[in-house]
Structure 1
Amino acid sequence: MSHQSRHSRHSDQLLLPLPGGGTGRRYPAEQNRSRVLEVAHTRLVVVGLCFMLAFCAVIARLVDLAAGSDPNLGIRLAASAPWEAARGDIVDRNDVLLATSLPTRSLYADPRDVIDPEHTADRLVELFPELDRPQLLARLSGSGRFVWVRRHLTPREQHAVNRLGLPGIRFREDQQRVYPQGAVAAHVLGFTDIDSRGLAGVERHFDSTLADGESVRLCLDVRIQHIVREELAAAVREYRAIGAAGLVLDVTSGEVIAMVSLPDFDPNNRGRAGDDARFNRVTQGVYEMGSTVKLLTAAMALDSGAITLTGGYDASHPIRKGRHTIRDYHPQNRWLSVPEILVHSSNIAAAHMALDVGGAVQRMYLDQFGMLSTPTVELSEVGTPLVPGQWRDINIMTIGFGHGIAVSPLHLAQAVAAIANGGSFVPATVVARSHEDLQSRRVLSAETSRTMRALMRLNVLMGTGRRADAAGLRVGGKTGTAEKLVGGRYKRNARMSSFVGVFPIDNPRYAVLAILDEPQGNRSTHYFATGGWVAAPVVRAVAERIAPVLGIHPAETVRTAAPEATMPDGPERRRHLLLAGLRNAMADTEGWQLAPR
């Protein structure tokens, strides 16, 4: 065979070198390619196994961390998770926004990623001087993976932090609760903590509802709320009172149209408010309400048949019972009829009336009026009445004129609403209520309610409530003045002065209550600081301002002629005056013109 032919026959073979030199066995090219592919495949399998082992190691580490070796893992994971749904809004009866949540950004740090804690703390404190540097440095130097630095940054603040370019400093989505009306309805709304958990007021009572993103509609009218707050604040300034409480209540539905407690606070800056400002005097404070309770005593006496409208009691002398003496503030020193008892606000006669009613009946009516139980209003801050442990004669008498039992202003307003609305007790509510949800119980007969409305109007026409008389609005009501109990003893010249009124008295729509805490008389009041001088004018001013807003129009007033001035003073003149006043009061229960609701 020629040399050329041998070369051609072996041209598709490859000579492989041997370790000792020379050449080994020849392999075809196709076999060599197959072997290379096998080697590549083996290497891929090995690499894949390595990746799988590494992944398993990561999973094992995560499980280990979750088991407790890093307690901050859950917070860290939460920091990177989307923020939960926004808290629901709170609106008034006209859908005016009272509370809402705004999206914000909050600043946190991952200490393991903070390269220089000292430098980081210095730069952050320069930007936010209110931060405590030693505390911040300790947190940035910790071993955790998540620590808060500052909550709820403004866009400008967030931009400033970004410009610092600090490693380990990050942002997360957050939400901030805001109250657009400021302090106007603070005690009703309450407030939340920095994590939007309800801590007081409606925010706390409906915390779970709001947290689920559902809104709550209140029966408050922010327009009426503004008016009541302004008038109370003016009275506090004029009479140098330490506080005040005001309430407007729909007497038929129990809806709270306005509720004000002074001093108040701005829930947007609740941290600056003291305990006194956060205290709700309308629902949380319990006080001896004084002579306003005489309305309840007269109502239960008339309704139970203990006395008739033409009956009365001798108020010539103080009542002495053990170490207690019951006197009148303005003694008439004579027999007083039932209308005169309210007109002159006689403690002596009211005590006699309460004794005729009797302890068992008195307690029964007080319970039906809601005065012995905690109100069911949808607020967290609600006071429990203070009642006697034993219901003795002295307790019966003092309760008859508003001492010896301590209740909240809301208790009183609910009871007076029942007296005026036809005799049905309707629990107060701060939430908009449908007619189907209305619950009530009868306390008085309709006839007793009508008689009491006339007596309330008489007190404004002729009695201690004259300064509550708003032209054309036919306000009826009762004054109250009670010394404050401090440390178990009555504090001299420290009074709770009040007036509770209802208007229009012929077709009652609203009860208005005003209370001043420790007012001081001035020249305009001849230095008196009783309810008739300082609280009754507040109710008049409120009624005059809210009537147009609520669609109530003034009506013309027709008056029965009073006795001639030439008639000598004495029993006959007083009788004529009282009869004229009663005729006018009864006439004021007829012919009222109302705007459509």
Structure 2
Amino acid sequence: MTFLSRIMLLKSQAHFSTDVQRGGAVVNSATFKGTGKRKTEMAKTRVGLMFATFCVAYAVIGGRLVQYGYAQPETVSSILPADRLMASRPDILDRNGEILATDIRTVSLFAEPHKIVDTDEAVERLSTVLKDLDVRDTYRKLSSNSRFQWLRRQLTPKQQSQILALGIPGIGFRPEKRRFYPGGATASHIVGYVNIDNRGMAGMERYIDNQGMADLRALGMTSDAPLEPVRLSVDIRVQNILRDALVSAVAKYEAIAAGAVVLDVHTGEVVAMSSIPDFDPNRPQEGAEEGWMNRMTNGTFEMGSTFKTFTTAMALDSGKVTMRDSFDARYPIRIGRFTIKDFHGKHRVLTVPEIFQYSSNIGTARMAEAVGTAGHQEFLTRMGLLTRMETELPEVKAPSQPREWKQINSITISFGHGVSTTPLQTAVGAAALVNGGKLLPPTFLTRDREQADQMAQVVVKKQTSDDIRQLFWMNGKAGSGKYALVDGFNVGGKTGTAEKVINGRYSDDQNFNSYVGAFPMDDPKYLVLSFIDAPKTGEGGGRTAGLTAAPIVGEIIRRSAAILGVEPTFGEDGSALLVSY
């Protein structure tokens, strides 16, 4: 067999052989099957390794996220977290739902100095939009090594649009909220104001923060969601009338300041209150210290003869004095080096109603003596006139009194000298003397009659309250309160003309005048107190309380009684009607 033939034979046999010899090793079909199995197992192993790698990677990422979640936030420059910048404040409404304060969206301008390309150019461009830009300070900020700087808080939409058009690298905007007060200065001392970071600084704005909102903000638990509005007891219509009357009086009587309050005698709600000078809460920095001072609650004054109301009520309520009693007012009272005399003395024996009507210092002092010093101090404490008043406004000053009460102190305090209280505190005490004898803490939030009755403290007998109402009405008709009279509304009250204390001495030419009145006196619903500080003139040229403070009360009642829902009555029995032809 030739060599070629042997080769062909072997080749043909290889086609029918199931065995293959490679490098001396024999590979059969089982070997092929083993190789495939190993490849499958290797593929599974690779997939498992990849899966394990992904699990480890995601576990590391998740762990870091948890770590970051528990880590304390770092303080970076003056920037705040976005949720704090955008945190909502509740709207403040008057009793009828009118908005007194609300949030509006705005933006603030910031810079990232490390991204500023040309500081000089950036400052120059910004000054074309922000005309009052402090160029030197802005250049310092943009040249610093910090990563964040505020440039201007609370821009207008127009300013934002113009700055965006400048295309300055490293300049951006942060969304914020700005507090807006539609009424401006109308109720500024009640509503208060917020600072640039929307935190309450005074008035009911500060009260809201003190109720827990400031703590929530510190914890980062506030949100951008609208909050339930806070409804006040204030009627913005009456508030506007009251403030307008005060502004006019300060100008007309050339006074330093003035204030007034309208109080619901049955609920203790403050329906209106203002102190002039005041400020615009949209621009509180322009108010300066004079405008920020709320003299109605944060100023204490010797209230003068209005305090004779409390002395008379004390004497009547003690049972030691009746409306039919008389006291000798012919001669001044001398105690040591002090002499007590009447401003317009009658120089005769006066009945209790005459002492009140003629505002006799001597007669009032005699009634205080009948009760005694200890009883006098106890009564004023019971009326809430010697302790700090409790209400929602944070700006409340504590009254002042002598460290030790002596007879001379009791005598001078009986007609309004020697104890200083806030005007609102005086109004609250007077309200208790005309509403049947119930002392109610004043509130700037809505309160109904049932709620008021639950917290009321009976401080005088009903008969005492009836007697004081009679004295108010008599003094309103024929005494010093004539300028507060308003036809159809039966206004009664008591004036107080006190010499101002200047540098520790009583001034002969400056008065602090006040008037406390209520209406209608047959069934009082509201009490109105006004004061005016150092008027230079008054009605008819005089400058006593009857000619300055009383007309303010009359003006307020004349313009607001209908709004308050008080119907006028005319004629002796109230049956007469006004007829228009």
- With normalisation by structure 2, the TM-score equals 0.84
TM-aligned CA deviation for residue 310 of structure 1? 1.2
What pairs up with 1:479-498 in 2 under 5 angstroms? 479-498=495-514
Quickly say closer, same or farther: Cα 1:318–1:283, change in 2 above 3 A: same
Q: 62, 72, 92: which one pairs with 2:76?
A: 72
Asked if the contact 1:210/1:216 (under 8 Å) is kept, the reply is no
SS of equivalent residue, structure 1 residue 404: coil
Q: Residue 116 in 1 paired to residue 118 in 2?
A: yes
Q: Please report the RMSD computed on the Cα atoms of aligned residues, expressed in angstroms.
A: 3.7
Quickly say closer, same or farther: Cα 1:416–1:333, change in 2 above 3 A: same
Asked if the contact 2:270/2:443 (under 8 Å) is kept, the reply is yes
Distance 1:434 1:342 in 2: 34
Distance 1:245 1:593 in 2: 35
Q: 94, 97, 102: which one pairs with 1:95?
A: 97
Query: Deviation per CA, 1:128-175, whole angstroms, max 9, x where unpaired?
Result: 233322222222223332221111111111101101111111111100
TM-aligned CA deviation for residue 52 of structure 1? 7.3
Asked if the contact 2:78/2:149 (under 8 Å) is kept, the reply is no
Report the equivalent of 2:239.
Answer: 225
Quickly say closer, same or farther: Cα 1:270–1:335, change in 2 above 3 A: same
SS of equivalent residue, structure 1 residue 371: coil
Q: Residue 469 in 1 paired to residue 485 in 2?
A: yes
Q: 265, 274, 280: which one pairs with 1:266?
A: 280
TM-aligned CA deviation for residue 126 of structure 1? 3.0
Q: Residue 251 in 1 paired to residue 255 in 2?
A: no
Q: Residue 396 in 1 paired to residue 398 in 2?
A: no
Query: Deviation per CA, 1:101-150, whole angstroms, max 9, x where unpaired?
Result: 11111111122222223322232233223332222222222333222111
Distance 2:556 2:527 in 1: 11
Report the equivalent of 1:14.
Answer: none
Report the equivalent of 1:355.
Answer: 369
TM-aligned CA deviation for residue 209 of structure 1? 5.5
Quickly say closer, same or farther: Cα 1:515–1:181, change in 2 above 3 A: same
Report the equivalent of 1:23.
Answer: none
SS of equivalent residue, structure 2 residue 507: strand
Report the equivalent of 1:242.
Answer: 256
Distance 2:85 2:76 in 1: 18
SS of equivalent residue, structure 1 residue 268: coil
Unpaired runs of 5+ residues, structure 2, are: 15-34, 215-221
Quickly say closer, same or farther: Cα 1:374–1:333, change in 2 above 3 A: same
469-478 or 313-322: bigger deviation: 313-322
TM-aligned CA deviation for residue 395 of structure 1? 0.4
Q: 171, 174, 177: which one pairs with 1:175?
A: 177
What is the count of residue pairs matched by the alignment? 537
Q: Residue 407 in 1 paired to residue 421 in 2?
A: yes
Q: 554, 557, 572: which one pairs with 1:543?
A: 557
SS of equivalent residue, structure 1 residue 170: strand
Query: Deviation per CA, 1:272-316, whole angstroms, max 9, x where unpaired?
Result: 111111100111110000001101110110110121111121111
Identity of aligned residues (%): 42
Query: Deviation per CA, 1:362-412, whole angstroms, max 9, x where unpaired?
Result: 111111111011111110111110101111011000010011000010111
Asked if the contact 1:82/1:173 (under 8 Å) is kept, the reply is no
Distance 1:551 1:72 in 2: 57
SS of equivalent residue, structure 1 residue 552: coil
Q: 391, 403, 412: which one pairs with 1:377?
A: 391
TM-aligned CA deviation for residue 237 of structure 1? 1.0
TM-aligned CA deviation for residue 318 of structure 1? 1.6
SS of equivalent residue, structure 1 residue 231: helix
Distance 1:442 1:491 in 2: 38
Quickly say closer, same or farther: Cα 1:332–1:131, change in 2 above 3 A: same
TM-aligned CA deviation for residue 328 of structure 1? 1.1
Report the equivalent of 1:147.
Answer: 149
Report the equivalent of 1:160.
Answer: 162
Q: Residue 506 in 1 paired to residue 522 in 2?
A: yes
Report the equivalent of 1:576.
Answer: none
Distance 1:210 1:276 in 2: 29
The one-letter code of the counterpart of 1:325 is T
Query: Deviation per CA, 1:409-467, whole angstroms, max 9, x where unpaired?
Result: 01110111000000111111111113443211111111111111011100011111122
Asked if the contact 1:507/1:592 (under 8 Å) is kept, the reply is no
SS of equivalent residue, structure 2 residue 567: coil
Report the equivalent of 1:326.
Answer: 340
Report the equivalent of 2:18.
Answer: none
TM-aligned CA deviation for residue 542 of structure 1? 1.2
TM-aligned CA deviation for residue 490 of structure 1? 1.4
Distance 1:188 1:67 in 2: 38
Asked if the contact 2:516/2:530 (under 8 Å) is kept, the reply is yes
Q: Residue 314 in 1 paired to residue 316 in 2?
A: no
Asked if the contact 1:351/1:398 (under 8 Å) is kept, the reply is yes
Quickly say closer, same or farther: Cα 1:166–1:247, change in 2 above 3 A: same
462-471 or 138-147: bigger deviation: 138-147
SS of equivalent residue, structure 2 residue 283: helix
Asked if the contact 1:98/1:180 (under 8 Å) is kept, the reply is yes
Query: Deviation per CA, 1:332-352, whole angstroms, max 9, x where unpaired?
Result: 111111000011101111111
What pairs up with 1:390-469 in 2 under 5 angstroms? 390-438=404-452, 439-469=455-485
165-174 or 399-408: bigger deviation: 165-174
Distance 2:230 2:131 in 1: 38
The one-letter code of the counterpart of 1:153 is L
Distance 1:383 1:266 in 2: 23
Asked if the contact 1:473/1:554 (under 8 Å) is kept, the reply is yes
